[in-house]
Structure 1
């Protein structure tokens, strides 16, 4: 099936290796001008801007681009750039298995707040006291990959972990410190279950049962920590997937409704319009007009 939006793997962006790409951003951007159009990645992706202006769109949310900003993306998210003027910094693309084979805790990255696929948590302004350290760490990564040495990949992963932990420590992402460890674990469990089951399980009571808690407990937890109900968390994820599917013009509205297990087109259209403010057809036309 032909997709309107391309899906890139690391091999399609570099001839060097299939699991890792580390580069300064300006030459990377020069080599991949087509990435200003909407696209998906099959890998984890992050960029630290040391110079930049304009905007980018991640999963249909537009955010400004500026100096000393870093953003993180997980596989499957939709992305495009609209830069203004000169842009530079550092980019890392890495495969899903890169850390699974390195760390005993295979799902370590999923515990980091900026790798949850939530745009508001994944675009981060770096404070002045961390900017120099971060730049030095990225320069270390560049040096390691430009001049291969023994244990090169292990050193690269160790430096990347320093970057991840340094950013995870920032106060704006310390939600796990303000929520009890039990409730934090429950919330992460809920989010992971949604990711696996959003097409088939659409009610809070379904997830509450899998978590061995009451629907009221789950709803109170989501309201306290996220500011929205458990039902809204589920509906937001279904709507996001609908948007990702709608940008493929080879999929009919009926096929998309079927993939997301809606009983019929009218129910899907009513759901989507309530969540997105547009009908599926209107959203598709609006998205296509921006390409």
Structure 2
């Protein structure tokens, strides 16, 4: 395995960009930490499912669901008496409005609780069976419709307890979503609130205000967390040295980079790598999904 990058799983779906796999269909314990180039939804109807997502341990139980966005590093830890599905979905199949909501909740709230009679549990088996059929008239359109219905129920539950749900679809919400998209694309070159405010043609003060209103945290918090998270990924999962990682993240001065890490995660880059050295060099073998 090349330890100079984090494994990215690609082309895991049917040709139409959707696939449904029952939980337990492949060996979760054999999965090394990896990224996907698509969205993945884990829907659990019973049991306990444990995974690690960007250094956070997530425990799902009974009726629940979770989404993992492209680029997030995840691995499966354990499962007990689980029934449910993995749903792999190309980003292009998700409407702009739904994508905005998923982006806004990224790294804050990505899981939902479901009732046992949720229609999600009825839709998925139909979609799964349809995907196994030979081509029928309008089959692709039916599969897309079922996928959109699943997303509607999932995102409806996701925003149910969102204190900013009344802002969804409004200008503030759209601006915050654009900020978070820009941040994922440009954090290596832009590290200040004023940089993103300039790209959005608003003031830094207003950007901080609306980001906090929608997400609960300021824009400066999200900038620092995005950089620190990618730094931890590279320090933990690759063998790049600290100077290379600093350069990869847009820092010419690796000492400044380590001071940034000390301020944001409580330890320097070298301290973080040393603390996690044994864990990061004992990843299990890669499986197919």
How does the TM-score come out when normalised to structure 1?
0.84
How far apart, CA to CA, are the structure 1 residues paired with 2:261 and 2:276? 15
Moved more, 192-201 or 238-247: 238-247
Q: Secondary structure at the match of 1:208?
A: helix
188-197 vs 118-127, which moves further:
118-127
CA RMSD of aligned residues (A): 2.5
Q: Given the alignment, which residue of 64, 73, 77 partners 2:68?
A: 73
Task: Structure 1: state its 5+ residue gaps.
Answer: none
Match for 2:110 among 116, 122, 138?
122
Q: CA 1:283–1:156 in 2, change beyond 3 Å: closer, same or farther? A: farther
Post-superposition offset of 1:166: 1.3
Name 1:149's counterpart in structure 2. Answer: 135
Instruction: Indicate yes or no: 2:124 matched with 1:138.
Output: yes
The equivalent of 1:232 in structure 2 is 221
Q: Which structure has the highest helix share of the two?
A: 1
Q: Distance in 2 between matches of 1:50 and 1:232?
A: 35
SS in structure 1 opposite 2:84?
strand
Distance 1:83 1:248 in 2: 20
CA distance in 1, matches of 2:104, 2:218: 18
CA distance in 1, matches of 2:17, 2:278: 34
Structure 1 residue 255 displacement after superposition: 0.8
Alignment of 1:82-231 (within 5 A): 82-97=77-92, 99=93, 107-111=96-100, 113-116=101-104, 118-128=106-116, 131-150=117-136, 151-170=138-157, 171-173=160-162, 175-178=164-167, 181-231=170-220
* In structure 2, distance between residues paired with 1:20 and 1:285: 40
Q: Cα 1:19–1:81, aligned 2, differ >3 Å: closer, same or farther?
A: same
Q: What per-residue deviation string (whole Å, max 9, x for no partner) do you get for residues 15-71 of structure 1?
A: x658332122122x34x5422x31221221111011222521111122212111111
TM-score calculated relative to the size of structure 2: 0.85
Contact 2:29-2:77 within 8 A present in 1 as well: no
More divergent stretch after superposition (168-177 vs 271-280): 168-177
Deviations 1:50-94 (A, max 9, x none): 122252111112221211111111211100122242222011113
1:24 aligned to which of 22, 41, 44: 22
3-state SS in 2 of match to 1:201: coil
1:252 is the counterpart of 2:241: yes
> Shift of the alpha carbon at 1:178?
4.1
Match of 1:41 in 2: 36
